[in-house]
Structure 1
Amino acid sequence: MQMKDFVIDDSLKDLTSHNTVVMPLACYKITINQNIHGYIPLHWHDEIQFVLVVKGEAIFQVNEDWIEVREGDGLFINSGSLHMAQDKEQSGCVYICLNLSPFFVLSQELYTTYVKPYIQATNLTYLYIGVNEIWGKNILDAVLEIYQFIERKSQHYEIDITIQLAFIWKQLIDNGCKLEYIQTEILKNQRMKQMLSWIHENYAEKMMLGDIAKAGQLSRSECCRYFKRVLKTTPLNYVIDYRIQKSLYLLHQDDATITEVAYQVGFNSTSYFINKFKASINMTPLAYKNSKINNR
């Protein structure tokens, strides 16, 4: 199974169905450059995620950190963490993605002791999984096995999957990560999501820095520091980038004109939209639209 596009709501929460089997998990391959954006856009979800890069190299952003993941290695991304992925140097990166509900990792009786503390830890937004570490290789091999179980659907494969999930989690715990719980980190994550949610709900309207800051209960200067620290951009530049992302979907429609698209996503000038689109996508909106129509 190949996952191409993600459906996210106004808070960047991933709404993509994460069930490739009857259990609350999904395991599929992703080719990064086949996504409509050419990369996996920033999003988050309640599920935990394990990644295994099977071809090329990927660059992941998880909250404020940027992580290069080599072929053969992987990544654990914790529940609720903002993350995105892009191909490194056009390597044609392909990775296996295992998403699953934290409540399904272990039995209900064991969840409070062995899962919940790790899900809530503020210093475990992600964990690099190297194939050269014994515990890391064990996790990555198990992720691959789960992917193969789902592809083959042999008898009792669901039981095989649950066995592998318990094994994966034990390997992660055995890694010995010391857990921390910092309230300021929890609050920062919440405020960032609040500001992003407000932008995504109102991107088609006129945007002011003060409005974005108010959504996160911050001053304008603190709002700018949040965006610079987490997203390496300014709030208003993020708005422009997000409007361009939204325009990609509209440009796939045969009857949508460039001017109509520009105004629908919040630009009040067609020429300004064309200029910003070209700077971001390296082609004009019309060229992008024609290329998608011709490739159908």
Structure 2
Amino acid sequence: MQIKNFIVNQSLKELTEHRTVELPIACYETTIKQNIHGYIPLHWHEEIQFVLIVKGEAIFQINEERIVVREGDGLFINSGCLHMAEEKQKSGCVYICLNVSPHFVLSQELYMSYVVPYMQATNLPYVFVDATELWGKNIVDAILKIKQLIERKTQYFEIDITMQLALIWKNLLFNGFQPEYLQTEMLKSQRMKQMLNWIHLHYAEKIMLEDIARAGQLSRSECCRYFKRILKTTPLNYVIDYRIQKSLSLLQQAESNVTEVAYQVGFNSTSYFIEKFKHSMNMTPLAYKKYKTDNY
């Protein structure tokens, strides 16, 4: 199953239902370039995530850090961490994504001792899973096994999945990471989400830098530093990029036209919308609309 459009709420929390009918777990294969945006946009979710690259290479950004993950290797992304992904050098990247409710990783008796401390750690937004290391290979093998179990649904497959999840978690702990808790990092994450939440509620309106900074309880200069450090862009450029993202689904509606869409997503000039859209998507909004119409 391929999720081609990540539905998120105003705070970038992904709204996709990450579970099968039987279990609080979802496993799907993702071809990055098939996403509606051509990349996996910034989002977060309460589930923990395990990624295994099966083809090509991807660049993942988790909070402020960017990391290249190559074919055969994987990644653990912690609960609540902002993350996005793009393929590297048109490698046709495909990856297996395993999203798991933290409560499902271990039994309730072990959950507080062996899961919660690591979920709440501020120094563990992600762990690179190196398949050349024994612990990494064990995790990769377990991800593949879980995917197979979900697809085949053999007798007692639910029990087998819980065994594989426990194995994955045990190997992560064997990797030796030590949880740390920095109040400043927790506050920084909270403020970033508050600012993004405000933008996503008001993107169709006139937005000033002061408005965004106020939402995060920051000065204008500190607000700019947050965006530069975490998202590698300016607050107002992020607003433009987000407006263009929101325009994509509108342009695919048969009755829409470019001028209406431009004003709907917050641009006050059609020519400026076309200019920014072309810079972001390498085609005009009209060309994008025609391309989507011809290919669906």
Coarse TM-score class (shorter-chain normalised): over 0.9
**What secondary structure, in the 3-state scheme, does the structure 2 residue paired with 1:259 have?**
helix
Q: Which moved more, 1:59-68 or 1:150-159?
A: 150-159
* C-alpha separation in 2, matches of 1:193 and 1:108: 29
* C-alpha separation in 2, matches of 1:102 and 1:216: 28
Deviation per residue, 1:4-49 (Å, 9 max, x gap): 2211000000000101341111011000000000000000000000
**What secondary structure, in the 3-state scheme, does the structure 2 residue paired with 1:111 have?**
helix
Aligned position for 1:45: 45
Aligned position for 1:246: 246
Aligned position for 1:132: 132
* Residues 48-59 of structure 1 mapped to structure 2, 5 A cutoff: 48-59=48-59
Shift of 1:2: 2.0
Q: Is structure 2 residue 157 aligned with structure 1 residue 160?
A: no
One-letter identity of the residue aligned with 2:90: Q
* C-alpha separation in 2, matches of 1:140 and 1:134: 10
* Residues 164-243 of structure 1 mapped to structure 2, 5 A cutoff: 164-243=164-243
8 Å contact from structure 1 (residues 60, 69) kept in 2: yes
Shift of 1:179: 1.3
8 Å contact from structure 1 (residues 59, 86) kept in 2: yes
* C-alpha separation in 2, matches of 1:20 and 1:202: 34
Aligned position for 2:35: 35
Shift of 1:156: 1.0
**What secondary structure, in the 3-state scheme, does the structure 1 residue paired with 2:11 have?**
coil
Deviation per residue, 1:88-112 (Å, 9 max, x gap): 1111100000001111100011011
**What secondary structure, in the 3-state scheme, does the structure 1 residue paired with 2:149 have?**
helix
* C-alpha separation in 2, matches of 1:157 and 1:3: 24
Deviation per residue, 1:200-251 (Å, 9 max, x gap): 0000000000000000000000000000000010000000000000000101
**What secondary structure, in the 3-state scheme, does the structure 2 residue paired with 1:92 have?**
coil
* C-alpha separation in 1, matches of 2:252 and 2:2: 21
* C-alpha separation in 2, matches of 1:187 and 1:224: 16
One-letter identity of the residue aligned with 1:24: P
* C-alpha separation in 1, matches of 2:135 and 2:120: 22
One-letter identity of the residue aligned with 2:246: K
**What secondary structure, in the 3-state scheme, does the structure 1 residue paired with 2:52 have?**
strand
8 Å contact from structure 1 (residues 21, 150) kept in 2: no
Aligned position for 1:115: 115
**What secondary structure, in the 3-state scheme, does the structure 1 residue paired with 2:283 have?**
coil
- In structure 2, runs of 5+ residues without a counterpart are none
Deviation per residue, 1:41-78 (Å, 9 max, x gap): 00000000000000000000000000000000000000
User: Taking every aligned residue pair, what percent have the same amino acid on both sides?
Assistant: 73
Aligned position for 1:97: 97
One-letter identity of the residue aligned with 1:183: Q
Aligned position for 1:22: 22
* C-alpha separation in 1, matches of 2:289 and 2:42: 23
Shift of 1:153: 1.1
One-letter identity of the residue aligned with 1:133: E
* C-alpha separation in 2, matches of 1:273 and 1:211: 22
**What secondary structure, in the 3-state scheme, does the structure 1 residue paired with 2:13 have?**
coil
**What secondary structure, in the 3-state scheme, does the structure 2 residue paired with 1:158 have?**
helix
* C-alpha separation in 2, matches of 1:154 and 1:83: 33
Shift of 1:178: 1.6
* C-alpha separation in 1, matches of 2:241 and 2:269: 16
Runs (4+) of structure 1 exceeding 6 A deviation are none
One-letter identity of the residue aligned with 2:69: V
Aligned position for 1:283: 283
Number of residue pairs aligned between Structure 1 and Structure 2: 296
Aligned position for 2:88: 88
